[in-house]
Structure 1
Amino acid sequence: MLSYPASLISSPLRALILAALLGTAAPAAAGITYQLERPSAAPGETVRIQAVFFNDGGSVARWQPPAQMVVQWRSPDGTIVRSLAMLASQHSSLSVPVNNFARVAWSTVVPRHAKGLQALSIEGESIMMALDVSGRDSGTLASTPAQGPVVDASTGEPVPVAEVTAAGAQPDAGPAPTEAAQAEWQALPTGFDSFRSALSEYKPMYFAVGTRGETTARFQISAKYRLFNPPAGREASFGENFYLGYTQVSLWDLEGDSKPFIDTTFNPSVFWLSDNMWTSPEQNWRLGLNTGVEHMSNGKDGEDSRSLNDAYIQPAINYRFDGGSTLTFAPKVKAYFAVANENSDYRDYAGFVDWNLRWAQDNGAVVSAMYRQGASRHRTTQLDFAWPLRRTFLNMNGYLHLQYFNGYGETLLGYNQRNESQFRIGLSIVP
């Protein structure tokens, strides 16, 4: 905990600053919490006050963050300065679904003559924060480590070392707030940490089994790798939205003597993706975009070889319902090139557009549909339904997955073979 020389602080102000230190991120009314972005700053610098509005009610909540608000700076000598904080983003009403949150920030300038530990409050809100505005050339409150043991606040007696260690702290000293902030920004991740932070799900991942003439399993694995991670606390720039993707779809014969794989489609890609290129002022409409180049091959040679390439663009229009679900329409428009001779008429069966529609509840059902129209009467339809198993008596990870397929292209090898209605049931990891 930060402290200040008692001789410089009157008793009422000392209590006020102590409350500020203990309540840096204390909640305000209406489910809003406020917090300063950093523990210290110099006079004349701009700092940001961050606010999070969380809706834990039973219906959608609307929040109108003010374009500006008045903040009070209270110095150790009793001086009070009132100044303005300006909203950093567009001034609009936010629509926050159930069990979701919205985040905004205001910018304000530290008063020119501020010095020492400042108790910062927002007029009209029961919140107080603390900012160290001491000189940076000397030891400051926020940059001075806390020397000494952890004590029982009511008795002043040292707490047993085992309890302090169990809390993840050092027995004899604690870091300064600025050190903790610098460690958060400057800590170098390991190679695996960097890989893990850049890797995420891409297309659905599932394993489903069905019987129609013969018992088969169809499964899909998919992931994407971000090439450039944006720094924490900043939205990604254009160049930081490039990804490498990989998807693999296999059809497995579960009745054959050696349980052979009928065919596997390997689908690497490179693409640019942004899930939020534009959002409506009410926060219920959102526009995203995925565009890139992909390769598809079944990895075989000779007469069974199949391969092609395409460039695509896939806008995604999302509508957020007040009840806590999202409807997404994402048509994928494709232009083929470098198509192998063995499947030169692939476009006649797959067409040039995948019409995708998806409805997803928060922590609930996920329903998706894909339709393709090739030349003549070459139509393909796939329907998927997923339900979280945590909401069943099993209380386990994953989703119950149901799939219906009818048409062409269940495998790349059989792109021109019609598959009659096929139902499958299984488990999905990513619906």
Structure 2
Amino acid sequence: MKKLIFVALFLFYNLAFGADKLYQKALEFEANGDKENALKYYKLSAQKSLNLDAKQPPQTTTLKSDELFWGISAYHLNYFMPLSYSSPNSLKKSISSQFQISLKKLIFDDLLGFDERYYFAYTQISWWDLYSDSAPFYETNYQPELFVEIPLNYPNLANLKFGFLHDSNGKDDELSRSWNRVYVAVDFKLDNLTITPRVYKRIPDKKDDNPKIQNYKGRGDINLDYHMDNGSIFKAVFTNNLKFDKTNKSSLELGYLYPIKNGFYLYLSGFSGYAKSLQSYDKYQNAINLGIAFTR
């Protein structure tokens, strides 16, 4: 009799309700500790959903989950920080604003048979005196980049990455700050945590307008990215010049992203160290920033 009642209810829900209602019913069973019936309704919800999807007309073009438009996706964080406090004051005023745009585009893939992917990326960070009458830009740093990413089939090893990175403030003469480097990085994945150590080598310039920039900007860094169960993201970047004596210099940047809606986050970050911007790469600076970010 009990099985007959269940079959009747099963058929009733299948005919009368959509996949979302069936899913809600499964959640109710699970909340009450009835895992057997919960599993049956989860399966029924999936079947119903697949049947509905099968009736939908085929799509000619679809976006990948991380794609923004035209095959372009986010690279590093994209953010706008209307409140940015710095001390010592290296940008003329202690309170200003800053924003970053960072995108990448797949150029081609699997040329060598390793499932490798070749990308062009572009990152721009600008410091903007939003609160002055004329709202001038203090500084903008530009970072075009080419890199190849090779997937690794080893436990906890996700990708090996080789790249070329140009870094410039777009100015000339005595205000010019630019340098080129090549790097190698590897992604370690441990559940929700990704650890990416990277080392880089400067390509010598005929005209050096950044004497000893690697002593301040560093010769390597470690990126940490931890996705919490509530949807929040914790980020950390530690940079060091790899000189283990009194000339050792480093920087640390911490960031916390709290989800708002549709991929947008409330973003709080702090920085302490050298080379936050190219113009003042040899000046020590502390900063705290608050704003909005999005990432895919």
Query: Could you tell me the TM-score, scaled by structure 1's length?
Result: 0.48
C-alpha distance in structure 1 between counterparts of 2:160 and 2:76, whole Å: 15
Partner deviation per Cα, 1:241-261 (whole Å, 9 max, x = no partner): 111111111111234442211
Partner deviation per Cα, 1:272-298 (whole Å, 9 max, x = no partner): 014x41243xxxx34212211111111
CA contact (8 A) 2:106 2:117 kept: yes
The correspondence for 1:268, drawn from 132, 137, 144, is 144
Q: 1:225 aligns to what?
A: 105
C-alpha change, 1:206 and 1:237, in structure 2 (3 Å) is farther
After the TM superposition, list the runs of 4 or more consecutive aligned residues in structure 1 that deviate by more than 3 angstroms: 194-197, 236-240
Query: Could you tell me the TM-score, scaled by structure 2's length?
Result: 0.69
CA contact (8 A) 1:359 1:366 kept: yes
1:364 aligns with 2:231: yes
CA contact (8 A) 1:227 1:240 kept: no
1:206 aligns with 2:79: yes
Counting helix residues as a fraction of each chain, which structure ranks higher?
2
The DSSP-based 3-state class of the residue aligned with 1:364 is: coil
Percent of counterpart pairs with the same letter? 29
The DSSP-based 3-state class of the residue aligned with 1:314 is: strand
CA contact (8 A) 1:268 1:295 kept: yes
Counterpart of 1:335, as a letter, is K
Alignment of 1:164-179 (within 5 A): none
The correspondence for 2:257, drawn from 370, 380, 386, is 386
C-alpha distance in structure 2 between counterparts of 1:188 and 1:430, whole Å: 22
Bigger radius of gyration among the two: 1
- CA positional deviation for 1:361: 2.6
Alignment of 1:110-189 (within 5 A): none
Q: 1:346 aligns to what?
A: 213
- CA positional deviation for 1:239: 6.4
Partner deviation per Cα, 1:190-245 (whole Å, 9 max, x = no partner): xxxx9935321111111122234521112111111101268xxxxx9536511111
Q: 1:145 aligns to what?
A: none
Q: 1:298 aligns to what?
A: 169
Q: 2:295 aligns to what?
A: 430
1:331 aligns with 2:202: no
- CA positional deviation for 1:358: 1.7
CA contact (8 A) 2:109 2:118 kept: no
The correspondence for 1:401, drawn from 250, 253, 267, is 267
Counterpart of 1:405, as a letter, is F
C-alpha distance in structure 2 between counterparts of 1:188 and 1:404, whole Å: 41
- CA positional deviation for 1:329: 1.1
Counterpart of 2:292, as a letter, is L
CA contact (8 A) 2:183 2:199 kept: yes
The DSSP-based 3-state class of the residue aligned with 1:349 is: helix
C-alpha distance in structure 1 between counterparts of 2:68 and 2:280, whole Å: 36
Alignment of 1:235-250 (within 5 A): 237-238=113-114, 241-250=117-126
Q: Which has the higher contact order (CA 8 A, sep 6+)?
A: 2
C-alpha distance in structure 1 between counterparts of 2:69 and 2:293, whole Å: 21
The DSSP-based 3-state class of the residue aligned with 1:218 is: strand
Alignment of 1:53-68 (within 5 A): none
C-alpha distance in structure 2 between counterparts of 1:249 and 1:425, whole Å: 15
1:315 aligns with 2:186: yes
C-alpha distance in structure 2 between counterparts of 1:188 and 1:400, whole Å: 32
CA contact (8 A) 1:198 1:229 kept: no
The correspondence for 2:278, drawn from 393, 407, 412, is 412
C-alpha change, 1:373 and 1:224, in structure 2 (3 Å) is same
The DSSP-based 3-state class of the residue aligned with 1:303 is: helix
C-alpha distance in structure 2 between counterparts of 1:405 and 1:168, whole Å: 50
CA contact (8 A) 1:251 1:411 kept: no
CA contact (8 A) 1:215 1:254 kept: no
CA contact (8 A) 2:68 2:74 kept: no
- CA positional deviation for 1:348: 0.9
Partner deviation per Cα, 1:297-318 (whole Å, 9 max, x = no partner): 1111111111100000010100
Query: Aligned-residue CA RMSD in angstroms?
Result: 3.2
The DSSP-based 3-state class of the residue aligned with 2:174 is: helix
C-alpha distance in structure 2 between counterparts of 1:229 and 1:197, whole Å: 17
Counterpart of 2:95, as a letter, is T
C-alpha distance in structure 2 between counterparts of 1:403 and 1:258, whole Å: 27
C-alpha distance in structure 1 between counterparts of 2:56 and 2:239, whole Å: 56
Q: 2:160 aligns to what?
A: 289
Partner deviation per Cα, 1:30-87 (whole Å, 9 max, x = no partner): xxxxxxxxxxxxxxxxxxxxxxxxxxx99xxxxxxxxxxxxxxxxxxxxxxxxxxxxx
1:254 aligns with 2:130: yes
Counterpart of 2:271, as a letter, is F
C-alpha distance in structure 2 between counterparts of 1:397 and 1:332, whole Å: 27
